[in-house]
Structure 1
Amino acid sequence: MTSAGEEQGGAGRDGPLWWERRRGAVLDVGLGAVSALECAVEGVDFAREGGLPTVAGVLFGVAVGSVLVLRRRWPIAVVLVGIGVAPAAMGFLLSLVGLYTLAACEVPRRITATLASMSLVATFVVTYVRTAGDAGTTPTLVVVLSVFMAVALNVPPVLLGLYIGARRRLMESLQERADSLERELSLLADRAEERAEWARTEERTRIAREMHDVVAHRVSLMVVHAAALQALAPRDPAKAAKNAALVADMGRQALTELREMLGVLRAPAPARSAPVAAAAGVAVGAPAVAGGGLEDGPTLAELEALVGQSRAAGMVVELDVRGTGPGRGYAAEVEQTAYRVVQEALTNCHKHAPGARVVVRLAHREGEVAMQVENGPGAADVVRPELPSGGNGLVGMRERVVGLGGVFVSGPTDSGGFRVSVVLPGGRP
């Protein structure tokens, strides 16, 4: 049991025996010494009235008053001793401090109320008996005086103890709440840092994916055209000049798109929507365009031009479109992802299956759009261009598709070619 008299400052335990603090022990020993001195003085009158030796009364008083040292350990015992010695008219400090400690500590309130009532009755009875025989006192005056003494010696220490105990418990509750809030703030800070790091990682991944999808396709076509230009220049200068013009045009397009992506990196933080979207819970694979909003990215309507670029490079490409899409088109991220998938698949055909026949299928279904890019085996008499491959093309496509909740399947065909199949939810524009 602990009382409100225990100081709350400092951390750890530094007091002897049952005391939490050393100064609490000093305080209780000091109170016990004062109480012992008081009871020793009162023990002289007690011994005289009882016909006992004075020394016995003094020793009894010292023993009774010293009990106050135990007030933090056994407050109930201290109050009971105070009630027990009330007929001897000693232990006033013992009773006052004992009742205060009892009310302030964690003893159940019914016990506190019972002992306080017993002390109140005992004080009333003792005062009444001692004043009833005095000359010049009336019964009414005796009762009034007895009630006043009983209330004055018992009610104030109990009320003060209840107030101090409630205040101490409130302070402990507030301290616990402050510690809890501090822990929660620390956790929130850690989570915010994790989200920020995750957003930065997603931004780097997005930029790498955009660089790969946008620039690699253009550069791959440029390499294919350059190889054709090298072979055609001696025997067909006109066609070689045409291919040279195509290479120059694709180079300018690649530089433009690269400049747009680098512009996003230099833009202020609010303009870079991808990290913010990632931190807000957007799917990992949701694409963002190089030039700003998703609405500025490529769409399915540009597939014909994309296929035309591969045809201009000498690839035999068939575009098969079935069904009709929604009147206002699909959601911007769906259109861009579908375009990038076809773009990367065609790039892989240029790299790994030169001279092969390629079929690009696009099917508009109810609530979804499906794409398939399939190529046959590469022609044996066509020189494979020297195009580096980092192995990230299929990984990037899968991330885009899965991030939108779609299905991605790729693998070799029975005829020796390769097939990429994708199904994307249509979404709403």
Structure 2
Amino acid sequence: MASAPLSPDRPVTAAGGELRLPRPPGVIRRFWARHPRLVDALVAVVYLIPVLGSLVLAAPIGPVPLWVTVARVLLVAATAAIMVVWRRSKPWVLVAAAWVTTLLVYPLEAVNVFAIAIGLYALAVYRSSRSAWIGFAISAVVGGAAAFVASLLQPSPLFGESAFFPFAMAEAVVTALLGTLIGITVGNRRRYLEALIARVGDLARERDRQAQLATAVERARIAREMHDVVSHSLTVMVTLAEGSAATAGRDPGRAAEGMRLVADAGRDALLEMRRMLGVLTEPGTETVDGRAPQPGTSAMPELLEGFRAAGLPVTLRTAGAAIADPNLQLTVYRIVQEALTNVLRHAPSARHVDVTIEHADGEVRVEVVDDGDASRPADTASRPADTASRPADTATGASDTGGRGLIGMRERVAVYGGTLDAGPRGFSGWRVRVALPSPERPNGT
């Protein structure tokens, strides 16, 4: 929780920068807010001077011994010192000292109970209204006792012995009540401002956390997209280049065609990366290619044709209504792209690669099956068959310690709350099976 002295000209530091509050009106108010100790000292002086003056002036004419007067002066001075040191941090100590001072000084010299009022004000402001009312109840009893003793020791010549006690009692209670009510008013306003400042600080930190989370999500998305684009394109280009180098001696025409396909794959990769990274450029600097839509299921034939050109025998089968959601289309496209890239990288000798996309029963099911070598490096995330259909965000496998291929697929599937199963298919081949909940109705409308 952000906290600061209740001086609105002080900044409250919040995550992500300073949170500055409006300055209060008036130079004097800001000066007192910046010098709390000076305020406490002035309060103590205002209390101390009239009380000590009354005690000193009454000493020569009163029947009280000098040492008693000196003791009372020291007691009043100690109460004033407590006002300076502990009025804000330990107001209960000040109230207790005020009670002692009232009981020992007030009955003999009929001085006011201003110390109690100051203590109750401090309780209400720096503790709570409940503490102030408890202190007021005890203070009323203490003031009444002091007034009763004073009425017995020195009856007032103006009111007489019978009328002095009610007057003194009313003076003690009213003075304490005024200090309590003023303190409660000021304390409630202070606590309200502190709550507002804390709330604004919490909102500022929440804003920064949301911004950091959005940044992390966007970075993960860009990393995932770049992996898919770069991994796919480089795998296809490397495969085509190796094939062209192998056939350059006996079939130069075919080798030249392979190198043209390498160039086409490179250009396509550059265009896609430029479009994907367009979000990082300043507004107004996007190119026409940067505003092109992301690939979807309509681009699936072109994707498969690129893999066929690289020597991968891919067949596509679709069932159900077309997918209308462009985000879901991109997810399906990237999953198929990554699965085929893994086949091309790790099982280039596969004789059959089947891609199935089915949209039915409120679900999009994608399956990529090949008959290549069932063993895969760590980044292909082999999993036992009995762990199939586990939610994608809990899927485990060797990919957790390897590359980002299956990790990126799992992240895409987790966005939709779907499931991912990737692992060997019996003694030969590999299967990637994905189920994604579709926001569209099964009939596609």
Q: TM-score with structure 2 length normalisation?
A: 0.63
| Structure 2 CA distance for partners of 1:364 and 1:320, relative to 1, 3 Å | same
**Matched-pair contact (CA < 8 Å) for 1:320–1:360:** yes
The residue number in structure 2 matching 1:374 is 369
Superposed CA offset, 1:170-212 (max 9, x none):
5455555555655555555555444434433333332222122
Q: Following the alignment from structure 1 to structure 2, what is the Cα–Cα distance between the partners of residues 378 and 127? A: 112
Name the stretch that deviates more: 61-70 or 397-406: 61-70
Q: 1:108 aligns with which of 124, 135, 138?
A: 135
Question: Which has the higher mean CA deviation after the structures are superposed, 200-209 or 360-369?
Answer: 200-209
* Structure 2 partner of 1:267: 282
Tell me how far apart the structure 1 counterparts of residues 364 and 190 of structure 2 sit (CA, whole Å): 58
Specify the alignment match of 1:75 in structure 2: 98
Is the partner of 2:372 in helix, strand or coil?
A: coil
Cα deviation digits, residues 387-416 of structure 1 (max 9, x gap)? xxx832122111111222111111222233
Which residues of 2 match residues 376-391 of structure 1 at below 5 A? 376-377=371-372, 391=403
Q: Of 350, 356, 359, which aligns to 1:364?
A: 359
Stretch moving more, 94-103 or 225-234: 94-103
Where 1:108 maps in the other structure, the secondary structure is helix
Distance 1:84 1:123 in 2: 4
Structure 2 partner of 1:254: 269
**Aligned equivalent of 1:206, options 202, 215, 221:** 221
Unaligned ranges ≥5, structure 1? 1-6, 15-19, 48-55, 86-90, 134-141, 272-289, 380-389
Residue of 289, 302, 306 corresponding to 1:305: 302
Kindly report which structure 2 residues correspond to 1:179-198, keeping only aligned pairs within 5 A, or say none.
Answer: 188-198=203-213
**What residue in structure 2 maps to residue 354 of structure 1?**
348
Q: Answer whether contact 1:409 1:420 (CA < 8 A) is retained.
A: yes
Relative to structure 1, the CA distance from residue 22 to residue 129 in structure 2 (aligned partners, 3 Å threshold; closer, same or farther) is: closer
Q: Does structure 1 retain, via aligned residues, the 8 Å contact 2:332–2:366?
A: yes
Q: In angstroms, what is the RMSD of aligned CA positions?
A: 4.5
Task: Give the conservation status (yes or no) of the 8 Å contact 2:367–2:434.
Answer: yes
Deviations 1:121-175 (A, max 9, x none): 8888999884699xxxxxxxx99xx68x975x76567545433444445545555
| Gapped regions of structure 2 (runs ≥ 5) | 1-31, 80-93, 124-131, 375-401
Could you tell me whether the CA contact under 8 Å between 2:106 and 2:112 is conserved in 1? yes
How do 1:66-215 and structure 2 match up within 5 A? 68-69=76-77, 72=94, 73-81=96-104, 84-85=107-108, 91-92=109-110, 94-97=111-114, 100=117, 104=121, 106=132, 108-114=135-141, 116=143, 130=157, 159-172=174-187, 174-175=189-190, 188-215=203-230
Structure 2 counterpart of 1:109, one-letter code = F
> 1:75·1:98 contact (CA, 8 Å) conserved in 2?
yes
* C-alpha deviation, 1:237, in angstroms: 5.2
Q: 1:122 to 1:27 in 2, by over 3 A?
A: same
Number of the residue aligned with 1:321: 318
Sort the Cα spacing of 1:406 and 1:39 in 2 relative to 1 into closer, same or farther, 3 A. same
Q: Which AA in structure 1 matches 2:357?
A: L
Instruction: Give the corresponding residue for 2:234.
Output: 219
Q: Which amino acid aligns with 1:347?
A: T
Residues 240-271 of structure 1: per-residue CA shift (max 9 Å, x gap): 55444433433332222122233332133999
Task: Report the AA paired with residue 414 of structure 2.
Answer: V
Aligned length: 355
Q: State the alpha-carbon separation in 2 of the partners of residues 212 and 64 from structure 1.
A: 85
Instruction: Write the distance in 2 (CA, Å) between the matches of 1:250 and 1:98.
Output: 88
Give percent identity, aligned residues only.
30
In the alignment, the residues of structure 2 paired with residue 237 and residue 98 of structure 1 have an alpha-carbon distance, to the nearest angstrom, of 107
